[in-house]
Structure 1
Amino acid sequence: MNDVYGVIGDPIAHSKSPIMHNVAFNDNQIEATYVKFHVSKEQLPQAISGLRALDIKGVNITVPHKSSVMPLLDEIDPLANAIGAVNTVVNQNGTLIGYNTDGLGFVEGLKPHIDGELETKSVLIIGAGGAAKAIYYTLASLGVKKIDLTNRTKENGVALINSCPFALESRYLHLSEAETILSDYDVIIQTTSIGMSPSVEQYPLALRQLKNGTVVSDIIYNPLQTTFLKQAKQLGARTQNGLDMFVFQGALAFEKWTGIFPNTIMMKKAVLKQLGGSHVNR
């Protein structure tokens, strides 16, 4: 009998995770199947108990369960515990261990776009939600020393900075202030939902002061090229959409489950093929 893996969320019908994971299982000749589990908030405790009862080897956790799943697990990885969210669960002989591969997945996808060491770069993060926190904490944990943050709500931005357990230089900027000093940054990371389909004409801040060669990343992947990225490219930036983060967070989860790091190029191609190469939804 094949081992079973899956993704738990609400809603979940749109998830493309099974596409790339099943391709990876097949490519590595692993007898396993990855499926979708639609689980409401009320059903989550029973669903997690079911992982043990049914010997499901591992799952991804997506919205709205990334934080609420944590008290239901046996162990939490230190980085996931610091972030306050789990997106990957490993069933290790009945012991459920939670990890967060979102931030690390983002970093792995970003590295090919960076010249030199990421630790030496000056970074600006736009947003202060769950994705921003995972990326901010992960970059800080890896030794990036200068990370500023801009967000529409000052309270949320300052709270994120103050809660980070890792040593770094960081300040909160109003959006209007950040716009005037964009040339200070080597990497700009857009983590909000601004510009996501169907509101594709929106963008979080003006890029007039962007310096040529800055790496501009937008974690949105529907559409693959947001207005924000289009503007950045016109101004000479090196741009990256959110598909790399989606694929690499999945690849790191796959490695947690199997001990094998899969072929990310193949996984990415599988998702793009399924969606006609024009957009992607998780």
Structure 2
Amino acid sequence: MQDERNNDINETAITGVTGPITDWLDGHTILVGLLANPIRHSVSPTMHNNAFAKLGLNGLYLCFEVEGDRLEGAVKAIRMLGMRGANVSMPNKKAIIPYLDKLDKTAEMCGAVNTVVNDHGVLTGYTTDGIGWVNSLKEDGQEVAGKVITLAGAGGAAIPIAVSSALAGAAEIRIFNIHDRNWEPAKEKVALINQETDCRCSLNAMENKEAFKKSIAESDIYCDATGVGMPPLDDLSLVEDPSWLHEDMVVSDTVYQPRETKLMKIAKKAGVKHIYNGLGMVVGQGAASFKLWTGKEMPVDYISKIVDEA
């Protein structure tokens, strides 16, 4: 039977990473990590290790370059080493599912996992990307419940946002996407959202620019969950003119580099009151994972500043 302390990041004294290593890494330190490839660009270690230190939690977050036939062994290691869990990123979000014991509802509906929690050898998969986006808006007083959302994109960022928004009570979600490899899988996810929630969800062709423009004008929230706006597409926006937007809506871009995207500049010209980049979603998904592992709230304002500066 596993030692129960292997599943609890406990509040032993930590004086901070500037002191001797024995002050913050010892025989009771609990390990979490990230399984992905590529991985060295990730801000997750900065985010989680600073959160552990700030709250005085005896935990350590490391990156592990894992994919393909090494993934199964890595998942077994989570159990065997008594790790508290792991984050999962590309290309492992779908591939990891057969090696887990169960999924929460969001991960099941998305068909993807970005967080694994080890409860005494039982591994549960979660998806916190979407709830990270929902919570980042909530932090600023913006709710998705009862709202009409136009969502651009149907890929790895968009589907968790759609699922989590529907589960959080959104009234209607209109997904717009080009006819690419994401189109058919998105049709299945839309049908599932309509079946499992009270939200009305639809998939629409991005090629129909007039329908896209009309949908945005009728929406409470517009979210671009595509890669448009980040290099090398940083001089582009799917919204072509400020007249497409109205000042009382929320405009959210999942891109966080650059900090102000072309969409955000257009929204400013339109006088939109609530404009967000993707940094809040990045920190929000990390905060949701952090709470699953520790039961504690990540100090979001503190971590957001550190991640932004990093």
- Partners of 1:268 and 1:60 in 2: CA distance: 18
Aligned to 1:167: 198
* Contact 2:128/2:289, CA 8 A, preserved across alignment: yes
Structure of larger gyration radius: 2
User: 1:172-206, CA deviations, whole angstroms, 9 ceiling, x for partnerless residues?
Assistant: 33330211342201100110111112321122232
Shift, 1:40, TM fit = 2.0
Aligned to 1:258: 294
- Partners of 2:175 and 2:154 in 1: CA distance: 8
Aligned to 1:193: 227
Q: In structure 2, which of residues 265, 282, 306 is the aligned counterpart of residue 230 of structure 1?
A: 265
* Contact 2:150/2:174, CA 8 A, preserved across alignment: yes
What's the C-alpha RMSD, in Å, of the aligned pairs?
Answer: 1.6
Residue type at the aligned position of 2:282: F
Count of residues in correspondence between the two structures:
273
Residue type at the aligned position of 2:200: E
Q: Indicate the SS of the match to 2:69.
A: coil
- Partners of 1:21 and 1:97 in 2: CA distance: 20
- Partners of 2:36 and 2:218 in 1: CA distance: 39
* Contact 1:137/1:166, CA 8 A, preserved across alignment: no
Structure 1 residues 52 and 171: alpha-carbon distance in aligned structure 2, compared to 1, 3 A threshold:
closer
Q: Structure 1: which 5+ residue stretches go unaligned?
A: 275-282
Shift, 1:142, TM fit = 1.5
- Percent identity reads 33
Aligned to 1:203: 237
Q: In structure 2, which of residues 154, 163, 179 is the aligned counterpart of residue 153 of structure 1?
A: 179
Q: Identify the structure with bigger relative contact order (alpha carbons < 8 Å, sequence gap 6+).
A: 1
2:70 maps to 1:43:
yes
Structure 1 residues 218 and 46: alpha-carbon distance in aligned structure 2, compared to 1, 3 A threshold:
same
Structure 1 residues 65 and 86: alpha-carbon distance in aligned structure 2, compared to 1, 3 A threshold:
same
Give the TM-score normalised by structure 1: 0.92
Residue type at the aligned position of 2:130: G
Shift, 1:130, TM fit = 2.0
Shift, 1:96, TM fit = 1.1
2:249 maps to 1:214:
yes
Residue type at the aligned position of 1:167: D
Aligned to 1:143: 169
2:147 maps to 1:121:
yes
* Contact 1:76/1:97, CA 8 A, preserved across alignment: yes
Give the TM-score normalised by structure 2: 0.84
